[in-house]
Amino acid sequence: MASSVLFEAKMSTLADTVLFNGRVLTVDPHDTVVESVAIKGGRILAVGTNEEIRPYIGEDTKVIELDGRAVTPGLVDSHNHTVEYGFSEMTLNLRYPGVKSIKEIQALIEASAKETPEGQWIKGIGWDEGLLDENRCIKRHDLDPVSPRHPVVLEAQSAFSVVNSYALRLAGVEPEEGGHDGVLTSGPVSLRIKAMAYDHSVKEIEEAILKAQQGLFSVGITAQKEAGASDDMIQAYRNLHDRGDLKIRSYVMIGIHNGRTSLKLAKDVVSQYKPWGDDVLAVRSVKCSFDGSGANRTAWLHEEWNRGFTDVDHGNYGGPIIDAPHTYPDIMKTLHGAGFQVGAHCIGDRTIEEYLEAVQSTILSDPKEDCRHSVIHCNLPTAKALRKLVELGDNVVVEATTAYMYFVGDIYSSNFGPSRSRCLIPMKTWKERGVIVGNGCDFNTCLVNPLFGLYAACTRKPMKGLNGPQPFGVDEQLTFQDALRSYTINSAHCMFWEKILGSIELGKYADLVVWSRDLDDTRPEELLKTEAELTFVAGEIVYSKSSELMLGSRKFPSPNPT
């Protein structure tokens, strides 16, 4: 263990709180590990060995005995749909392994229909065709027999959904006439159904954010990026912030995504909003979407999609999600010129290249430094794209979702095929080339617990292993410490917050997590059994799993503030 007091402070200064006798992973530039950390006024006062921190303890200092547990910076999720997560408690949970087949999904919908007033929506979330026993997509014909008098929308783990005939008719589509199977990826019908099924008031959105906030605290997340917000969502965040109820640091992206990205909407954003923010809430980024999904083979690729891992989906290269990809540079220049950070959903290799070309042309025409325009997901960067990421330097970041390899890894490997799968989400290559890469869960595709993302970054293993236990190879595996950086200081960098959080260093906010075990010596498989026991934001305990740690302070030796 590295020791010595890392940061000087006046020895006469006594801490409000000391976390004592643990494994403090500071995530500083040297990845220093120490034993204890002192907190004063919501900030980090000092870190070091037990003996070095002991002088900061007075009779009023709250001392928490860690007994070897790990402490990390609060985890920072660089890509989440937090409001959607907050509403998820009101939807059917269709995730594997809780739900394993279409028959089980039908049974859940039939039971829900008996309890739901006729005409009201039945919503579900989290199914994955690659994990269902039938190994196929749900269709409206599966839903209609069990929901004749209710509209139904079931969100897949990836960016598409399936609806029944009742829902299609509400959206103005007669399913029998066009032979519509109920599967929606993007477009007007999908947007109309989402608008009807998820029509929430600002007050309801506020309640969802508060539910999500507590859920995120319980898994060690203290800051998050809301990846695409409506006007009502932005208002709800502002209301909570104004009242002091927003505790989780929230970096909100104005949403013109989900197949709606256009030059007109970019201009609307510039006319309605200006970048602004503080240490708790910031609205200074815009979310665009430039291609589809890896799960339903709609992302834009140079070569044809695979199917079933080794077969080829002949003639399917996916494509841009908007009709006018030639407008990418104009969209970029409009938002960049107004001072916004731009983040674009880019899954396929063709899309990533097109977007980076747009970023580069924007910077050349309107030179600025440290813009940090983000390539969201960036699943399959080509050698050309990797060079461009390096050339763009601090004007671009990557916001990856390593948890994809776990939660949708089986269908991803089936669709990308053997060769491309091994190049997917190349975390180690990015690190070696100096590209700043944040990490996030992208709920609902993945669960919000960041330990799944850390596990996937270290192992690159899918949930089931339908195409073998290691379809993504091992060459791009990260060490735990490097994976942790992606979910702390790097994600903070993606939000322009790296100077105030993301590591345990002098003067930064005391946003911290105490875990149920040591972490840096933990085998990756044991990460998924680890739990957050205490979560701090600015030195305040915002989540406590139990009182055990607080009681541990009674074992602490008598203070010696000399």
Catalogue the long-range contacts made by 429-434 (C-beta closer than 8 Å, 24 or more residues apart). Answer: 429/386, 429/476, 430/386, 430/389, 430/398, 430/400, 431/478, 431/482, 433/386, 433/389, 433/390, 434/390
Based on the domain organization, do 302 and 390 belong to the same domain?
yes
Residue 12 is predicted with a pLDDT of 55
Decide if 49 contacts 35 (C-beta within 8 A). yes
Residue closest to 412 by CA, chosen among 129, 143, 196:
129
In terms of domains, do 477 and 533 share one? Answer: no
Looking at the structure, tell me whether residues 427 and 465 fall in a common domain: yes
Residues 6 or more apart in contact with residue 116 via CB below 8 angstroms: 122, 150
Instruction: Give every CB contact of residue 557 below 8 A, 6+ residues apart in sequence.
Output: none
- Residues with Cβ < 8 Å from 29, sequence gap 6 or more? none
Q: Is residue 560 part of a domain?
A: no
Burial class, 60, CB count within 10 angstroms (exposed 0-12 / middle 13-18 / buried 19+): exposed
pLDDT (0 to 100) of residue 482: 97
CATH number at residue 188: 3.10.310.70
**107 — phi, psi (to 5°)?**
-65, -40
Do 445 and 335 share a structural domain? yes
Residue 521: its pLDDT value, please?
75
Residue 179 lies in a domain: yes
Which of 289-323 are b and which e, b meaning 16 or more Cβ less than 10 Å from the residue's Cβ?
A: bbbbbbbbbbbbbeeebbeebeeeeeeeebbbbbe
C-alpha triplet 524, 78, 531: angle, nearest 5°: 40
Domain ranges, residue 330? 259-494
- Give the integer Cα–Cα distance in Å for 298 and 310: 18
Give the per-residue pLDDT at 549. Answer: 62
Beta bridge partners of 540: 537
Q: Are residues 309 and 429 in the same domain?
A: yes
Give a yes or no: residue 426 inside a domain: yes
Residue ending a domain, choose from 470, 494, 518 = 494
Number of Cβ within 10 Å of residue 102's Cβ equals 19
The helix (H) or strand (E) run that includes residue 108 is: helix 102-115
> 328-337 and 263-272 are packed helices; what angle lies between their axes, rounded to 10 degrees?
10
- Number of domains, the chain: 3
pLDDT score, position 323: 79
Q: What distance in Å separates the CA atoms of residue 413 and residue 91, rounded to the nearest whole number?
A: 28
The domain spanning residue 459 has which CATH number?
3.20.20.140
Pairing assessment for the beta strands 540-544 and 532-537 based on DSSP bridges = antiparallel
Question: In this structure, are 135 and 164 located in the same domain?
Answer: yes
Place of tokens 């640091």: 249
Tens of pLDDT along 178-193? 789 999 887 788 889 9
One domain for residues 486 and 514? no
Q: What is the DSSP string of 461-515?
A: --SS-BTBS-TT-STT---HHHHHHHTTHHHHHHTT-TTTSSS--TTSB--EEEE
The continuous run of DSSP H or E covering 114 comes out as helix 102-115
Residue ranges of the chain whose pLDDT lies below 70:
1-12, 547-562
Tokens of 229: 């917000």
Query: Looking at the structure, do residues 125 and 179 belong to the same domain, yes or no?
Result: yes
Dig out the tokens for 339 from the structure: 């001072």
8 Å CB contact between 537 and 52 = no
